[in-house]
Amino acid sequence: MTSYRIALIPGDGIGTEVLPPAQALLDAVGKRHGIAFAYDSFDWSCERYLAEGAMMPDDGLDRIRHHDAVLLGAVGWPGVPDHVSLWGLLIPIRRSFQQYVNLRPVKVLDGVPSPLRDAGAVDFVVVRENVEGEYSEIGGRLGRGTPDELAVQEAVFTRKGVTRVVEYAYALAETRGQHVTSATKSNGIVHTMPFWDELVAEVARRHPAVRGDKEHIDALAAKLVLAPESFDVIVGSNLFGDILSDLAAAVAGSIGVAPAANLNPEREFPSMFEPVHGSAPDIAGQGKANPLGALWSAAMMLDHLGHPEASAELLAAAFGALADGISTADLGGSADTDGYTRAVLDRVGA
């Protein structure tokens, strides 16, 4: 029996509703594959921020540093600015634990219709640089409240940071369709994007079997809608990857079922896995939340921990329930959260 210690951060809203199904499926699939999970839950959330003035305690990172992985539900709540929840919890975890790859698989699933005609062949991944780039703390504001007020925000691109995420993307493509598309804007952003292009070209030369393309971000956004089936692995900076991954999830039918992994590929620190859908306060507490994003994220965690067969079994059960027409109201079905979860558990014999 292989054992793992998982840090649970349910967070806010439906985050607290989608993690229990993920735990149930992990435990059920784990029993079939000789894997056991121990969970430690942490109340780090906007609710905690409103009560105590911080998303997590001062020693929060030390509390989860030695866990094998982190499973996050969702954070965000009305009355708490989004930058508070992001910079007070998610970004410190990503940066302190060098989770420099944000991995977002995109697939059109039976039971989740895409808004695009004939989009059934869509199956690609977005690899987003996750710890530097445009999301930096360097900058400031001058002359607040005056007619001459200005704001400066600096992007940070390092040789190490760009190279390692692009290397990850090319290595991933070698296991998939042998094709990498790099998102750039070097015709308009005259320093960071040409630097990005140069480093992508260096990495590409080390992977001659992989076909490499580069696309300006605006044209790439259009092609994601017009021909999403033509992509295999897309790699982009923090901002470009953030935008493209949400666009891609919409192309696949719903951001509400999309998963994400924040990876430290070297496994020196725990990686964090999370659904993309956010806390959805409008449906929180109503049993309507579809837990697929959390289940898919849990499957990505299994794969990262070295259990691809268990991961595949969990995904087959989750996707199979959707294909059989069992889904929640947001996807046109009549099941509630528990009903969909039960249907998935039945498929793994639990």
Q: What does the H/E/C string look like for the chain?
A: CEEEEEEEEEECCCHHHHHHHHHHHHHHHHHHHCEEEEEEECCCCHHHHHHHCCCCCCCHHHHHCCCCEEEEEECCECCECHHHHHHHHHHHHHHHCCCCEEEEEEECCCCCCCCCCCCCCCEEEEEEECCCECCCCCEEEECCCCCCCEEEECCECCHHHHHHHHHHHHHHHHCCCCEEEEEECCCCCCCHHHHHHHHHHHHHHCCCCCEEEEEEHHHHHHHHHHCHHHCCEEEECHHHHHHHHHHHHHHCCCHHHCEEEEECCCCCCCEEEEECCCCCCCCCCCCCCCCHHHHHHHHHHHHHCCCHHHHHHHHHHHHHHHHCCCCEHHHCCCECHHHHHHHHHHHCCC
Q: Do 105 and 292 meet the contact criterion of CB atoms below 8 Å apart?
A: no
Tokens for 218, please give them.
């605006």
pLDDT in tens, 102-125: 999 999 998 888 888 777 789 999
Non-local (6+) Cβ contacts of 43 within 8 A are 10
How deeply is 141 buried, as exposed, middle or buried, from its count of CB atoms within 10 A (0-12, 13-18, 19+)?
exposed
Per-residue model confidence as pLDDT tens digits over 265-314: 999 999 999 999 999 999 999 998 999 999 999 999 999 999 999 999 99
Parts of the chain with a pLDDT under 50: none
Residue 330: per-residue pLDDT: 67
The Cα 207–Cα 202 span in angstroms is 9
What pLDDT does residue 253 have? 87
Q: C-alpha angle 111/114/117, rounded to 5°? A: 120
| 249: CB partners within 8 A, 6+ apart | 104, 106, 255, 258, 276
pLDDT (0 to 100) of residue 45: 97
Largest CA distance in the chain: 66
pLDDT value of residue 168: 98
User: For residues 281 and 60, what is the distance between their CA atoms, to the nearest angstrom?
Assistant: 25
User: Which residues 6+ apart lie within 8 Å of 258 measured at CB?
Assistant: 104, 106, 245, 249, 252, 275, 276, 277, 293, 296
72 forms beta bridges with 9
* CA angle, residues 275, 260, 237, in degrees to nearest 5: 135
Quick count: other Cβ atoms within 10 Å of Cβ 233?
A: 26
Residue of 84, 94, 75, 57 lying closest to 13 (CA atoms): 75
What's the pLDDT score for residue 254? 84
- pLDDT for 325: 87
CB within 8 A of 247, min separation 6: which ones? 221, 224, 225
Q: Which two tokens stand for residue 323?
A: 């294909």
Rounded to two decimals, the pTM is: 0.94
Per-residue pLDDT at 327: 80
